[in-house]
Amino acid sequence: MSKEYETVIGLEVHVELATKTKIFCGCSTAFGGAPNTHTCPVCTGMPGSLPVLNKQVVEYAMAVGLATNCNITRHCKFDRKNYFYPDNPQNYQISQLYLPICRDGYVEIETGKLSVNQKNAGMTESGEVKTKRIGIHEIHMEEDAGKLVHDDWADASLVDYNRSGVPLIEIVSEPDMRSAEEVIAYLEKLRMFIQYLGASDCKLQEGSMRADVNLSLREVGSTEFGTRTEMKNLNSFTSIMHAIAGERERQMDILESGGKVVQETRRWDDAKGESYAMRSKEDAQDYRYFPDPDLIPVDISEEWIERVKASQPEFRPAKIERYKKEYGIPDYDIELITESKRMADIFEEATAICGQPKKVSNWLMVETMRLLKEKCMDADKIRFSPAHLASLIKLVDSKVINNNSAKEVFEVMFEEDVDPEKYVEEHGMKQENDEGAIKSICEQVIEANPQSVADYKGGKEKAIGFLVGQVMKAAKGKADPGTANKILKELLS
Ligand code: ADP
Ligand code: MG
Ligand code: ZN
């Protein structure tokens, strides 16, 4: 008889922090760049070089810890994790083992209501909305390693130290998750906090957020945990979901046939849809951790914590509630706009200036989202200023330009953040609001299109649309279509 199993999951999440410089030296953290150009003696592990801690790293780690209800360790330290690998020039990684900066936190997740990411990952809605606490064991600070580039052509492996010393935080959860749905809800919650804090862009695909999934099974009702495996290399929500389903299946087969799950690290191959063992616990390394003698402990004062607390932004759940009360726009709009803090900031500022929340929201949801998608850009890279969006809306409201011209101006604004008022002026885009002038164009159009006029008079209401189009064309797009419509009807009645 087959037994019922419960899936138990804990995550280790690495996040690359958005500091300008590395954690222990002044080198740039910019992604890309010619190999080994963002390097110095410290981040290439030269003997005699000394690390100096980047204060911003501590502040970001504290901010993430406070957002996730952690206790901040007032006296924390860095430790050396010793191992040899060519992308690790010092032969040790500076990390935190004994006194990590944050401990004992939690985040609240909601399940039962799917987010856009969960739907895209192919999940089906389970119906009942539930909230659950996922414990955070600790958050520690550490440095990233360099990158090996295997060049088959030259039959050589090259190493690029640009990433060496880029600051990371590792967020270690308690084994509190029970399904892929909970895992994704947890990751989305972490990502929301971190993005709203501006601490990282958290892109799974580009590796600025990386999740290792620890998974075990136990019989339903059992209070003890089973033996777990750890899966690395998961760089999308979809592959996390597949890996969880695949590993659950694999462990179940082992347990059902009376075998034992081996504690090991496995690599999930999303293309093949299976995982394979990388290393078992037996050959787990002894990292010989010890406190780094080159770095002094970090003492965090109450006052420093208070300062970081005071500068925490309003996070998404609170923002959503406030928007519902303040702006009277549909929940759907609120969901989309608050997905990115940048978008929400633009919404609030532009609305404060022009007083038209729904119009601002429409520009963000329709044209902005369309252009972002077209240019494969993230919302945090939006360049146009809220003031310019507000003045574009005012130009349309006061009939200085029509909607079509506004879209044209917006595309330029999106690229170069031009001032729409100036742009409209300089490009002669002001619409013709003088009824007399529009009337004379209408008369010409009526003259030139007897067939459509006959159609309209014969009861084909739609023919008026064609005539309006002809007026717009003759006016080089600068007439108000509403006015043209009104005048045409008057002339034809
Ligand atoms: P290690 O130091 O060996 O990596 P940790 O105890 O720090 O192990 O746990 C690493 C991660 O594994 C944590 O996120 C934790 O929640 C998770 N974990 C621990 N035990 C289990 C288990 N039995 N099943 C699933 N996940 C587990
Ligand atoms: Mg670990
Ligand atoms: Zn450096």
How high does pLDDT run on average in the chain? 92
Closest ligand 1 atom to Cα of 176: 16
Cα 151 to ligand 3 centre (Å): 25
Best residue for ligand 1 mutational test, from 214, 230, 263 (most atoms within 8 Å of Cβ): 214
Specify if 454 maps to a domain: yes
Ligand located closest to 222 CA: 1
Residues 452, 467: Cα–Cα separation, whole Å: 7
Per-residue confidence at 78, pLDDT binned at 50, 70, 90?
very high
Q: Nearest 5°: phi and psi at 280?
A: -100, 175
pLDDT digits (tens, 9 = 90+) for 214-247: 999 999 999 999 999 999 878 899 999 999 999 9
Atom of ligand 1 nearest to the CA of 175: 16
pLDDT interval class at 119 (50, 70, 90): low
Task: Let me know whether 135 and 198 are in one domain.
Answer: yes
CA distances from 475 to 396, 397, 398, 467 (A): 17, 20, 19, 12
Q: Which atom of ligand 1 lies closest to the CA of 215?
A: 25
How many CA atoms lie within 13 Å of 10's alpha carbon, on the beta-carbon side?
19
Domains: count for the chain: 3
Length of the chain (residues): 493
**Is residue 187 assigned to a domain?**
yes
pLDDT of residue 307: 97
Which pLDDT belongs to residue 261?
A: 94
In angstroms, what is the span from residue 213 Cα to ligand 2's centroid? 10
Cα(214) to ligand 1 centroid in Å equals 6
Would residue 260 count as lying in a domain? yes
For 25-34, what is each residue's pLDDT tens digit? 999 999 889 9
In a domain, 253, yes or no: yes
Highest average pLDDT, of 136-145, 392-401, 474-483, comes from: 136-145
Mean pLDDT for 340-347 is 95
The pLDDT confidence band at residue 120, using thresholds 50, 70 and 90, is low
Q: Are residues 253 and 386 in the same domain?
A: no
Among the candidates 404, 426, 448, a domain finishes at 426
Nearest listed ligand to the Cα of residue 228: 1
Q: Calculate how far, in angstroms, residue 248's C-alpha sits from the geometric centre of ligand 1.
A: 16
Q: 202 and 263: one domain?
A: yes
pLDDT at site 118: 62
**Domain match, 281 and 358 both:** no
CA of 173, closest atom in ligand 1: 14
List pLDDT tens digits, range 373-410.
999 888 888 999 999 999 999 999 998 998 889 999 99
Q: Give 464's contacts (C-beta < 8 A, 6+ positions apart).
A: 456, 485, 488, 489, 492
What pLDDT shows up at residue 126? 65
pLDDT per residue as tens digits for the range 451-470: 988 898 888 888 888 999 99
Q: Is the dihedral of CA 339, 343, 345, 351 positive or negative?
A: negative
Residue 109 phi/psi, 5-degree rounding, is -115, 155
- For residue 292, being part of any structural domain is answered with yes
- Quick one: which of 57, 379, 56 has its CA closest to 196? 379
- Do 274 and 420 reside in the same domain of the chain? no
pLDDT reported for residue 212? 95
Whether 109 contacts 189, CB under 8 Å: yes
Q: How far is the CA of 296 from the centre of ligand 1 (A)?
A: 29
CA-CA distance, 429 to 477, in Å (whole number)? 8
Q: 296 with 350, same domain?
A: no
Q: Whose CA is nearest to atom 7 of ligand 1?
A: 172
Q: What is the pTM of this model?
A: 0.86
Whether pLDDT at 54 is above 70: yes
Residues 422 and 451 in one domain: no
Is the pLDDT at 105 greater than 90, yes or no?
yes
Closest ligand to C-alpha of residue 9 is 1
Which band of pLDDT confidence, cut at 50, 70 and 90, is reported for residue 152?
A: confident
Q: Is the pLDDT of residue 116 over 80?
A: no
Residue 269 CB neighbours (<10 A) = 15
Amino acid letter for position 350: A
Q: What's the rounded Cα separation, in Å, for the pair 370 and 363?
A: 10
Q: Select from 394, 409, 426 the last residue of a domain.
A: 426
Please tell me the distance between residue 236's alpha carbon and the centre of ligand 1 in angstroms: 21
Ligand 1 site: residues with CB under 6 angstroms?
A: 8-12, 172-175, 214-216, 225-226, 228
**Nearest ligand to the C-alpha atom of residue 227:** 1
Average pLDDT over residues 167-187: 96
The answer on 299 and 318 residing in a single domain is: no
How many Å apart are CA 123 and CA 284, to the nearest integer? 35
Half-sphere exposure at residue 303, Cβ-oriented, CA atoms within 13 angstroms: 0
With beta carbons less than 8 A apart as the criterion, state whether 43 and 164 touch. yes
Q: Residue 150: pLDDT above 80?
A: yes
Q: Which domain holds residue 417?
A: 314-426
> Considering the domain boundaries, does residue 334 fall inside one?
yes
What average pLDDT score do residues 420-426 get? Answer: 94
pLDDT in tens, 67-76: 999 999 999 9
Q: What confidence category does residue 23 fall into, taking pLDDT thresholds of 50, 70 and 90?
A: very high
Q: Are residues 223 and 80 part of one domain?
A: yes
pLDDT digits (tens, 9 = 90+) for 41-50: 999 999 999 9
Q: What is the SS3 assignment for 492?
A: helix
Residue 483, domain CATH: 1.10.10.410
89 Cα to the center of ligand 3, angstroms? 12
